[in-house]
């Protein structure tokens, strides 16, 4: 079957990585896949999609996003019209994010009958759900969410996709969890905590990820545990602020800014981290959480978005109050003081990641697409 995967941008975020898993699953199942990117892209991610077996089509070769709704519609309409004429897909799988439902309406107007959409965020970012409910009921074959919590925020109910479950012609909605990406292996030996603790973040250094809270929280941790170290993996607009926070707190000798790292070396960085911080202000799923847990990191994450469904509080990690530096520090300090609890959570985290295996994800996608044909 010919499948067209549609995504607004191909940069280096969790949405692009998870959509790459979708592409890989479809190719593995024997489908012919083309990926169309509307706007921004990185050459690295484009090559990753090609290596996965997908053709990549760029609607904006210069990677620029049109200004205003009128130009956006024009670019998408003309682009989709040409792509559909050349590729003739039997199913189109749209990543439901800005510009929202516009691509879906255009694709339907151009005659596409089987459209699947995946939402990567909960409903709270949308001012109204009336349009989405209309699209789901009358246009989409299926609407997939990446957590049950997100699905409930859209529809008031949720269910995990199960092979063989009943599907209607239109209006289906369900959850298929994101999967652990192939560049991270599940640890086969327990992480040791008999050394000074390394606290870490692996993230874009942006306000939405709560990165401005990391140094203030670590400063409080360091005041109680002077042997603790902080590893910051990633880059972004807040890096200069975070470096200034480090200088102001006079802790430069115990903080390592590693910068942005490629997927091929990320596993080694997770192996250096004992406690992984995710103080996000918004998080659709939290791919970083399952990457870290796969390597035995104990995740301390904000109680927001899809994180509580991934980081089960008190069982595989700990949740803290949103934007609460004191709560972050208190929970980390408790873990450092109670190494037995740290070890228990680490073991549970590694086992928990099996729920997000690539094999389980591939099986769900294969079954879904077999039934769409």
The domain that contains 322 carries what CATH number?
A: 3.40.50.2000
Whether 73 and 151 share a structural domain: yes
Instruction: List the one residue out of 43, 345, 361, 34 whose CA is nearest residue 181.
Output: 361
For residue 278, tell me if it sits in a domain: yes
Whether 147 and 279 share a structural domain: no
Per-residue pLDDT of the chain (373 residues; tens, 9 = 90+): 999 999 999 998 889 999 999 999 999 999 999 999 999 999 999 999 999 999 999 999 999 999 999 999 999 999 999 999 999 999 999 998 877 789 999 999 999 999 999 998 888 777 788 888 999 999 999 999 999 999 999 999 999 999 888 899 999 999 999 999 999 999 999 999 999 999 999 999 999 999 999 999 999 999 999 999 999 999 999 999 999 999 999 999 999 999 999 999 999 999 999 999 999 999 989 999 999 999 999 999 999 989 999 999 999 999 999 999 999 999 999 999 999 999 999 999 999 999 999 999 999 999 999 988 6
For residue 363, tell me if it sits in a domain: yes
Domain count within the chain: 2
Whether 54 and 143 share a structural domain: yes
Whether 288 and 224 share a structural domain: yes
Instruction: List the one residue out of 179, 144, 145 whose CA is nearest residue 305.
Output: 145
For residue 190, tell me if it sits in a domain: no
For residue 46, tell me if it sits in a domain: yes
Alpha-carbon gap, residue 368 to 370, rounded angstroms? 6
* CB contact at 8 A, 320 and 220: no
0.95 cut: is pTM over it? no
271 lies in which domain range?
198-355
For residue 184, tell me if it sits in a domain: no
Whether 350 and 365 share a structural domain: no
The number of beta carbons lying within 10 Å of the beta carbon of residue 367 is: 16
Whether 276 and 211 share a structural domain: yes
């Amino acid at each position: 079957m010919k499948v067209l995967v549609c995504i607004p941008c191909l940069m280096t975020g969790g949405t692009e990585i998870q959509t790459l898993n979708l592409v890989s699953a479809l190719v593995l199942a024997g489908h012919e896949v083309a990926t169309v990117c509307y706007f921004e892209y990185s050459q690295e991610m484009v090559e990753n999609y090609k290596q996965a077996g997908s053709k990549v089509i760029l609607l904006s070769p210069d990677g620029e996003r049109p200004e205003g709704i009128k130009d956006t519609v024009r670019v998408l309409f003309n682009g989709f019209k040409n792509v559909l004429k050349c590729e003739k897909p039997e199913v189109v799988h749209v990543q439901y994010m800005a510009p929202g439902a516009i691509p879906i309406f255009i694709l339907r107007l151009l005659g596409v009958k089987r459209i699947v959409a995946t939402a990567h965020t909960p409903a709270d970012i949308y001012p109204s759900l009336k349009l989405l409910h209309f699209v789901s009921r009358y246009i989409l074959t299926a609407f997939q969410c990446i957590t049950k919590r997100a699905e409930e925020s859209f529809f008031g109910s949720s269910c995990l996709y199960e092979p063989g479950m009943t599907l209607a012609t239109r209006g289906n909605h369900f959850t298929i969890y994101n999967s652990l990406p192939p560049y991270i292996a599940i640890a086969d030996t327990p992480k040791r905590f008999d050394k000074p603790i390394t606290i870490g973040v692996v993230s874009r250094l942006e306000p939405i990820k709560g990165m401005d809270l990391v140094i203030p929280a670590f400063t409080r941790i360091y005041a109680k545990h002077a042997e603790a170290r902080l590893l910051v993996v990633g880059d972004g607009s807040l890096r200069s602020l975070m470096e200034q926070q480090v200088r102001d707190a006079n802790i430069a000798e115990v903080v390592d800014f590693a910068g942005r790292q490629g997927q091929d070396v990320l596993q080694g960085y997770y192996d250096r981290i004992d406690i992984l911080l995710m103080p996000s202000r918004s998080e659709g799923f939290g791919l970083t959480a399952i990457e870290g847990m796969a390597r035995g990191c104990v995740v301390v994450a904000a109680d927001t978005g899809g994180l509580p469904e991934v980081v089960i509080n008190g069982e595989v990690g700990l949740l803290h109050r949103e934007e609460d530096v004191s709560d972050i520090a208190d929970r980390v300090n408790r873990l450092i003081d109670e190494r037995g609890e740290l070890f228990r959570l680490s073991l549970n985290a590694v086992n928990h990641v099996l729920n997000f295996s690539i094999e389980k994800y591939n099986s769900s996608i294969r079954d879904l697409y077999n039934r769409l044909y």
